[in-house]
A and B are shown apart, each in its own frame.
Chain A
Amino acid sequence: MIDITPSHYMVLSATLFMIGVIGVMVRRNIIIIFMSIELMLNAVNVNLVAFSHQWQHVTGQVFALFVIAVAAAEAAVGLGIILAFYRNKETVNIDEMNVMRW
C-alpha cells in the first residue's frame, strides 16, 4: 500500500481513460468530446511514463512525446472540423450531425 508500484499507476491510468470514454459516450457537445479524447491520450501517457520509470529506460517517455505530437495534430484538425461544421449548421451537438449516418 505504501510502495507505489506500476499497478497503482495502471489503475490511475485506467480510471482516467474510462472517465474519458464516459465523456465521449455521454456528452453531446462535440468540444467536450474532444476534451475527453485528450483525457484518454493523457491517461495513456501516464501509463507509458510509469513503465519508463519502472524499467529505468526513457523509451516510454519518447513514445509519450509522439503521443503528444499526435494529440496536437488531432486537436488542430478536429477543431478545424468543428469550426467548419459550426459555420454550416450553427450547432456543436453531435446528435444533430447526422448527414453521413444511415
Chain B
Amino acid sequence: MGEAIVFYGLSALILGFAVMVISTRDTVHSVLFLVVNFLLVAMLYVLLGAEFLAVIQVLVYAGGILVLYLFVVMLVNLKRPPETYQDPRRQTRLGLALSGAVLAEFVAIGVYGYTSPEGLPAVAAQAVEGGNVEQVGWVLYTNYLIPFEVASILLLVAMIGAIVLAQRDV
C-alpha cells in the first residue's frame, strides 16, 4: 500500500516535470526542471532497491551532466529568440500523432504482454551476498569487465572529441 502511494506520487511528479521540461519557453527553467526530474527518478531507484544507481544518478546526472547543460545555456548568448524561424516542411502534427500511436502500442505491450510472476522463469540464484553496492561491484568487475573497459575507452574518445570540437578553428 505504501509502495503504491509512493510509486504513483513519484510517477505523477516525474511525468509532470518531464512535460514541463519540453514545454517551457525559457531554456534555463527547462534545465532546472530536468534536475528535479532526475532527482525524482533517483528516488524511484531507491524505491526499487538500487541505492548505488540512485547515488550515481544524483552525482553524474544531476551533478555533472546538467551543470554542463547550464554552462552551455549560459555560453550560448542568444540575441534573438531561438525558435522564431520554422521550416515550412516541418511535420509537427504528424510527429505528435505518430508518438501517440507508439505510446499506445508500448502501453498495450506493458499492460497486456506481461505475464504473472508465477509464469516467469525461475529467478537465478544470487551468487553474491551483501548490499546493493557490493553486488553491483561484483557483477561489474567479473561478468562485465570487458564492457566496463570499453565504456572507459568510449569516455576517453568522447573527451578527446569534446576537446577537439571546443577548439577555435572548427
Residues in A lying within 8 Å of B, measured CB to CB: 1-12, 14-23, 25-29, 31-32, 34-36, 38-39, 42, 45-46, 49-50, 52-59, 61-62, 64-66, 68-77, 79-84, 86-87, 90-93, 95-96, 98
Contacts and interface: CB of A to CB of B under 8 A. Distances in A.
Contact of A81 (B90, B139, B165): B165
Nearest to A12: B11
A42 B38 contact: yes
Contacts of B14: 12, 16
6 contacts: A4-B3, A19-B21, A49-B48, A71-B61, A73-B154, A80-B165
Question: A-B pairs with the 8 shortest C-beta distances?
Answer: A80-B165, A23-B22, A10-B110, A14-B106, A73-B158, A25-B95, A95-B87, A18-B103
Contacts of B27: 29, 31-32
Interface in B14-43: 14-15, 18-19, 21-22, 27, 30-31, 34, 37-38, 41
Given A8-B7, A18-B99, A25-B92, A52 B48 contact: yes
Contacts of A74: 158
Given A7-B111, A19-B18, A68-B60, 19 more contacts: A10-B106, A22-B99, A25-B96, A28-B86, A29-B83, A35-B31, A52-B48, A57-B124, A57-B126, A61-B136, A62-B144, A74-B158, A76-B159, A77-B162, A77-B165, A79-B68, A80-B161, A80-B165, A95-B85
A62 B140 contact: yes
Contacts of B123: 55-57
A11 B102 contact: no
Contacts of B165: 77, 80-81, 83-84
Contacts of A36: 21-22
Contacts of B72: 31, 79, 82-83
A99 B106 CA distance: 35
Interface of B: 1, 3-4, 7, 11, 14-15, 18-19, 21-22, 27, 30-31, 34, 37-38, 41, 44-45, 48-50, 52-53, 56-57, 60-61, 64-65, 68-69, 71-73, 75-76, 78-79, 82-87, 90, 92, 95-96, 99-100, 102-103, 106-107, 109-111, 114, 117, 120, 123-124, 126, 132, 135-136, 139-140, 143-144, 147, 151, 154-155, 157-159, 161-162, 164-166, 170
Contact of A95 (B18, B31, B86, B164): B86
